[in-house]
Amino acid sequence: MKKFVILFITLMFSTCNIVLSAHHSTHSHNHNHNHYSYSTSQSKIPVGEDNSEETAIFGGCKEHSLKTYTKILYYSDGSRYTIRRYSILNKDDEILADKLSYVKHQITTSGKHYFIIKSPEYEKSKYVIIDGSGNRKTSNFYEKYELLGNNRIIVRQDKKWGIVDYDENIIADIKYNFFKPYGNLLINKYNGYYGVIDYNGKVILKNQYDKITKIGNIFVIKNVSMYGILNMQGNLINQFSIDHIKKDGDFFKVKIGNKYGILDLSGNIVAPIQYKKVRIERNNPEVYENHEWKKVNI
């Protein structure tokens, strides 16, 4: 009977799951903990434990503090297993949220406080958002998230991506198969095709392109066998007339028909697309004209 109790306790603790996530943002602080679980056996039994508590304020915040509870289990083979849980307290030491496995504190530009939190008690331990008073702001549970700034968050729900604000107002519908932010723009994929939206959900390019790749300071867009260029401001600077484009050092070599030219990494024309040959020598652009290579003055 004693062996059964010991084995049951060991199995119970080794099924705990605390996921480690990492995000970085101005005026934000996240706390989480990952652990190492071990297989149980008759030769590996718990032989002791330590429990501790500590409270610390969030950096840059006078309104809230974080209480951390740490349990360390020691095993007979010398290994150990650490479990951490967190509580968010207000300035009166009242608990706003308890038994959390993840906490990220955010202060918006308007001075409002929010927390992205995770708890084993939630649905599959997914993320939710609460405000500075502990009120839950999201009705949904999110599998993943990424901060965009300006009160915008990329979220994933049921393997689909979208954008919400901290009060869960929908900025971009949660329907995309893929999201990748660059500056103020996001490459996305929907129904098998790529497009671009901005952080406010405005459609810059509809989802009708075969591929969109960020290279240098531009987006190279493939439409069937032709290429176009979108700059970081969301403006098309080439209307899908390019047959081939290739990055070479700090430049792009481009081809339209049987003519070649050179662009810089922002898509600006360095050499017009009118030459039989172009090249980049030691990161210097050159064109072939009148049977000789000539350097391009930049």
The residue ranking higher by pLDDT, 236 or 125, is 236
| pLDDT value for 258 | 94
List pLDDT tens digits, range 193-203.
Answer: 999 999 999 99
At residue 10, the pLDDT reads 31
* Cβ neighbours for 131, distance < 8 A, ≥ 6 positions apart: 112, 113, 114, 115, 137, 166
* Residue 12 to residue 60: CA distance in whole angstroms: 38
Q: Which residues pair with 31 in a beta bridge?
A: 103
Strand partners, 197: 186, 203
- What pLDDT band is residue 125 in, cutting at 50, 70 and 90? confident
Mean pLDDT of the chain: 85
What are the beta bridge partners of residue 127? 118, 142
Give the count of beta carbons closer than 10 Å to the beta carbon of residue 41. 11
Q: How far is CA 43 from CA 2, 4, 36, 142, 224, in A?
A: 14, 13, 18, 40, 63
Q: Are 132 and 125 in contact (CB under 8 A)?
A: no
**Cα–Cα–Cα angle for 135, 139, 142, nearest 5°?**
110
pLDDT at 96 over 50: yes
Confidence band, pLDDT 50/70/90 cuts, at residue 32: low
